[in-house]
């Protein structure tokens, strides 16, 4: 087992939530105590980048790419399980664990790559929030972007009352967004049989070039580096006896339950988005790949017929605002994990959070002034952000599989050989697919 780091990951919340003893018997009580980190991670699987790929995939190919969404979330479950195991067993986040194993030059290189990935992730949340504010209130994008500074202050405010407050808020946000899209999809009356058929993979996904590119975009928007870093830290937020093997096993068990339940929720919301795009916009000549297009389309009787109403479009924009704000909060936490883990920066909490946010806002504002803060140009930025995430992903997943397969670090919880093989195989496939996506997008 590795030596515990001198500075705990996200030290203000590390081991801050007490959980029942292993000798208590209530499954529900234990599940509720461990439930929460999975919700924060699940938000990363339904950020504005996922919205664009799901809506565009539905408008172009109806329900055919539901199978890609399903396969992506299953891979995500596997990867998040490894992340949980690293945090619970080694009591390190991924950045700390990698930094312990590589020389200083390699550590700085990996920090730069992952810092760019964190910036790309944060960018999708910031831009999504700003666009939602413009749709709802007519607020110019530049002001919407600047307003996202305040979500950092919100994190600081709620963390004063403990991580459970943030977990509750995020869970409530997921439920609200799910209800909104449930209402919109129900009103659209999709074909249930066709939806079920879309969950079955077909050869067209590989043989149809446009469908393949969109599938790669969905994969790239789903499996993201920041979720792995975040989960390896949040898994350490529960307080129990780390020296009791039974307690460690139980922590792993319930953390996996928490993760998988919330990832199923993330899949359902993404599926609802894809179904909404496939039901309302598949018959149109346009591919609705922009938030403004969808917002306007939901109000247009020429496009969605009798379903058109300002309420539909307002609910859509409100859901975008919620997910944009929440995802930018979690990406800020991820950025803090990466910066502290690789660079060992020790600053007051409010300085760390503001530094993490300004690292993202400065390039966004610079790009904004160059493109005149145009909506469509900003949504193109989200697409390019997915490319940056695709490039960074191998530098996250390969080390994580290697670390969780290291017996000196993981002890009796070292990956079994078949888990290691599956981990490397999936990571290699994702890397190849993402390279194809990058090449096709350039």
The DSSP string of 8-75 is: -TTTTTTT-EE---TT---HHHHHHHH-SHHHHHHHGGGSHHHHHHHHHHHHHHTTTTHHHHHHHHHH
Whether 405 maps to a domain, the answer reads yes
Whether 3 maps to a domain, the answer reads no
Instruction: Give the whole-angstrom CA distance, residue 231 versus residue 233.
Output: 5
Instruction: Give the whole-angstrom CA distance, residue 119 versus residue 121.
Output: 5
Whether 1 maps to a domain, the answer reads no
Whether 22 maps to a domain, the answer reads no
Whether 61 maps to a domain, the answer reads yes
pLDDT in tens, 217-232: 788 777 888 999 999 9
Global pTM reads: 0.90
Whether 211 maps to a domain, the answer reads yes
pLDDT classification of 253: cutoffs 50, 70, 90: very high
pLDDT in tens, 19-60: 998 888 889 999 999 999 999 999 888 888 788 888 888 888
Report the CATH number that the domain containing residue 75 is assigned in CATH: 1.20.1740.10
- Provide the domain count of the chain: 1
pLDDT in tens, 302-334: 777 777 788 889 999 999 999 888 887 788 788
Instruction: Give the whole-angstrom CA distance, residue 48 versus residue 53.
Output: 9
């Amino acid at each position: 087992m590795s030596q515990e780091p001198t500075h705990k990951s996200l030290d203000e919340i590390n081991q801050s939530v007490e959980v029942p003893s292993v000798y208590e018997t209530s499954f529900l009580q234990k599940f509720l105590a461990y439930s929460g980190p999975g919700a924060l991670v699940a938000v990363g699987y339904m950020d504005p980048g996922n919205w664009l790929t799901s809506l565009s995939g539905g408008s172009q190919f109806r329900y055919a790419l539901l199978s890609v969404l399903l396969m992506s979330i299953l891979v995500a479950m596997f990867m998040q399980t490894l992340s949980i195991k690293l945090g619970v067993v080694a009591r390190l986040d991924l950045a700390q664990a990698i930094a312990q194993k590589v020389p200083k030059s390699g550590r700085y290189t990996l920090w730069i790559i992952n810092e760019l990935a964190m910036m790309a992730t944060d960018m999708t949340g910031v831009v999504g929030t700003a666009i939602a504010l413009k749709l709802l209130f007519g607020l110019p994008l530049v002001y919407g972007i600047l307003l996202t500074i305040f979500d950092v202050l919100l994190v600081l405010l709620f963390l004063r009352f403990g991580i459970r407050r943030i977990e509750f808020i995020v869970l409530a946000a997921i439920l609200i967004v799910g209800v909104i899209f449930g209402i919109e999809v129900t009103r659209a009356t999709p074909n249930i049989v066709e939806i079920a058929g879309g969950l079955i993979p077909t050869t067209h996904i590989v043989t149809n070039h446009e469908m393949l590119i969109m599938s790669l975009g969905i994969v790239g928007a789903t499996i993201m580096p920041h979720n792995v870093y975040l989960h390896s830290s949040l898994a350490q937020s529960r307080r129990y006896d780390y020296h009791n093997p039974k307690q460690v096993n139980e922590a792993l068990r319930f953390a996996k339950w928490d993760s998988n339940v919330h990832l199923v929720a993330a899949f359902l919301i993404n599926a609802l988005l894809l179904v909404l795009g496939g039901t309302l916009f598949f018959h149109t000549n346009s591919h609705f790949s922009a938030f403004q297009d969808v917002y306007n389309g939901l109000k247009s009787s020429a496009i969605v017929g009798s379903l058109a109403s300002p309420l539909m479009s307002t609910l859509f924009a409100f859901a975008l605002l919620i997910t944009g704000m929440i995802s930018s909060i979690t990406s800020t936490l991820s950025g803090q994990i990466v910066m502290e883990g690789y660079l060992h920066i020790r600053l007051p909490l409010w300085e760390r959070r503001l530094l993490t946010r300004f690292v993202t806002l400065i390039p966004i504002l610079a790009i904004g002034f160059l493109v005149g803060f145009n909506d469509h140009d900003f949504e193109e930025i989200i697409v390019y952000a997915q490319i940056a995430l695709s490039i960074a992903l191998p530098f996250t997943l390969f080390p994580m599989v290697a670390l969780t397969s290291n017996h000196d670090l993981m002890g009796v919880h070292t990956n079994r050989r078949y888990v290691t093989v599956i981990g490397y195989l999936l990571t290699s496939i994702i890397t190849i697919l993402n390279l194809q996506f990058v090449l096709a997008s350039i």
